[in-house]
């Protein structure tokens, strides 16, 4: 059976939404999704989440606690796309808070660079084209690492988690914000109907691409439950692993520390 990145040993298949695909094909398929939606990605995020992604990201930033004083703080925002988490972090922190957005998709990064320029943050947020599975950064170089709504798109999630741990300074925290399991009766049925009946149609209207949004809702359902993902974080060498369900479990904020 295809496993979405529990361990690498001998796997040749994985999930692309509800389809089983060769592991080596998934990244190309994911890249097509984000190339297709890049220009409308931020608008669709607001529509799809009814604006809630802003509150979830703000909570992430409040847990990051970027220093407001002169202490330097450098965030690595993996699969950071158009830069949302990075912008919020540098805006919350002091003048020496910086962020590096690492994303595999040049289309998403291009939108991010334009946003950085229009927000006047181009000198504090840099954009690097990089695969989360092989981060082009030295060991122990970042104060914190985040990945928001990105890890489920990475074919080898175990590698991405190990890489995030590797580049963290000892004592630094890795935060993963990701869709999770709704555990509130009635809300789960509403959420299912909303996801499968409305979101692909909304995606078609706004981006002209229903299939990409069908993939996005399916990939959410294939993401492991929080206790399984927490074990993956431990296997990657992170410690003090914990998670907080948000909005009835629609999303969870996971964290783990590099000791």
* Footprint on this chain of ligand SAM (rule: CB under 6 A): 27, 30, 34, 79-81, 84-85, 103-105, 108, 131-133, 148-150, 153-154
Which 3-state string (H, E, C) describes the chain?
A: CCCCCCCCCCCCEEEECCEEEEHHHHHHHHHHHHHHHHHHHHHHHHHHCCCHHHHHHHHHHHHHCCCCCCCCEEEEEECCCCCHHHHHHHHHCCCCEEEEEEECCHHHHHHHHHHHHHHCCCCCEEEEECCCCCCCCCCCCEEEEEEECCHHHCCCHHHHHHHHHHHEEEEEEEEEEEECCCCCCCHHHHHHHHHHHHHHHHHHHHHCCHHHHHHHHHHHHHCCCHHHHHHHHHHCCCEEEEEEEEHHHCEEEEEEECC
235 is in an annotated binding site: no
Q: How far is the CB of 104 from ligand SAM (least distance, A)?
A: 4
User: CA-to-CA distance for 79 and 178, rounded, in angstroms?
Assistant: 12
Q: How far is the CB of 144 from ligand SAM (least distance, A)?
A: 14
Q: How far is the CB of 94 from ligand SAM (least distance, A)?
A: 23
Nearer to ligand SAM, 54 or 71 (CB): 54
Q: How far is the CB of 70 from ligand SAM (least distance, A)?
A: 28
207 is in an annotated binding site: no
User: Which residue's beta carbon is nearest to the bound ligand SAM?
Assistant: 81
132 is in an annotated binding site: yes
Neighbours of 19 (CB within 10 A): 14
Nearer to ligand SAM, 107 or 172 (CB): 107
Nearer to ligand SAM, 31 or 96 (CB): 31
Nearer to ligand SAM, 155 or 249 (CB): 155
Q: How far is the CB of 69 from ligand SAM (least distance, A)?
A: 27
Nearer to ligand SAM, 96 or 119 (CB): 119
131 is in an annotated binding site: yes
Q: Which residues are annotated as a binding site for S-adenosyl-L-methionine?
A: 82, 103, 131-132
Q: Which residues are annotated as a binding site?
A: 82, 103, 131-132
């Amino acid at each position: 059976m295809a496993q979405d990145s529990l361990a690498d040993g001998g796997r040749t298949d994985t999930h692309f939404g509800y389809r089983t695909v060769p592991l080596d094909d998934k990244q190309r398929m994911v890249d097509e999704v984000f190339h297709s939606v890049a220009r409308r990605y931020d608008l669709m995020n607001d529509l799809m989440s009814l604006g809630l992604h802003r509150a979830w990201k703000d909570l992430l930033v409040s847990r990051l606690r970027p220093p407001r004083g002169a202490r330097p703080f450098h965030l690595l925002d993996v699969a950071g796309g158009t830069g949302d988490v990075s912008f919020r972090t540098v805006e919350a922190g002091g003048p020496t808070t910086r962020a590096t957005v690492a994303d595999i998709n040049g289309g998403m990064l291009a939108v991010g660079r334009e946003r950085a320029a229009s927000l006047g943050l181009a000198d504090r947020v840099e954009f690097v084209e990089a695969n989360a599975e092989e981060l082009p950064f030295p060991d122990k170089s970042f104060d914190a690492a985040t990945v928001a709504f990105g890890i489920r798109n990475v074919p080898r999630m175990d590698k991405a988690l190990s890489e995030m741990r590797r580049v963290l300074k000892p004592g630094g925290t890795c935060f993963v914000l990701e869709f999770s399991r709704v555990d509130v009766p009635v809300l789960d049925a509403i959420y299912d109907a909303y996801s499968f009946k409305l979101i692909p149609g909304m995606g078609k209207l706004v981006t002209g691409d229903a299939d990409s949004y069908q993939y996005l809702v399916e990939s959410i359902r294939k993401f492991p439950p929080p206790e399984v993902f927490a074990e993956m974080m431990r296997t990657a060498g992170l410690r003090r692993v914990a998670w907080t369900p948000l909005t009835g479990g629609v999303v969870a904020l996971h964290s783990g520390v590099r000791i």
